[in-house]
Amino acid sequence: MICLAAAGRRSHGVRVLVLNGPNLDQLGRREPSVYGQQTLPEIEQALHATAEALGLELRCVQSNHEGALIEALHGATDCDGIVINPAGYGHTSVALRDALLIADRPTVEVHLSNLARREPFRHRTLTADVAVGTISGLGAHGYHLALHALKSLLAPATPH
């Protein structure tokens, strides 16, 4: 699933890749008590509104396939920052971690649920230490906070 901000228009703002991992395409029906009622398209639509208000350009990618996520990171050379919810791959994928290192962009990791309150195997992610920060347990609001954080982090490096 790919969504692009500005429907073909190219802004001069900060470009952000929003990358969502496996099973996040099932939001709204997957354990709503844990992950909330919103679907991923609803979350992305709200993110576009936040991005527009912040002067950001978004590219959203979701895949249930590890290789597709890695390829999206390899193609992130036109992006200034990354928001990633690696989902289950965050706990298991050295390859996804390596792709984040290759992308070499400021990254904020987001998790809808509070990993510290989940099963022990979810308490640690392999990707967290390559991110500038992690937002966990705030539901979809975490994505909006991540956009604000990246805007703040990238603003000095962005020409006005």
Summarised one tens digit per residue, pLDDT across range 55-95 is 999 999 999 999 999 999 999 999 999 999 999 999 999 99
| Mean predicted confidence (pLDDT) in 38-55 | 96
Catalytic residue among 48, 89, 111, 143: 111
Q: Is residue 160 part of a domain?
A: no
**Cβ atoms 96, 65 nearer than 8 A:** no
Q: Is residue 57 part of a domain?
A: yes
Q: Is residue 137 part of a domain?
A: yes
- Among 26, 31, 35, CA closest to 1: 26
Can you give the pLDDT at residue 34?
Answer: 79
**Cβ atoms 98, 92 nearer than 8 A:** no
pLDDT(1) > 60: no
Does the active-site annotation cover 35? Answer: yes
Catalytic residue among 35, 89, 143, 144: 35
Does the active-site annotation cover 111? Answer: yes
Number of structural domains found in the chain:
1
Cα–Cα dist 101/126, whole Å: 12
Q: Across all residues in the chain, what is the average pLDDT? A: 88
Residue-range definition of the domain harbouring residue 28: 2-155
Q: Is residue 122 part of a domain?
A: yes
Q: Is residue 121 part of a domain?
A: yes
**∠ CA 7-46-62, rounded to 5°:** 70
- Where do we find the tokens 């792709």? 99
Can you give the pLDDT at residue 64?
Answer: 98
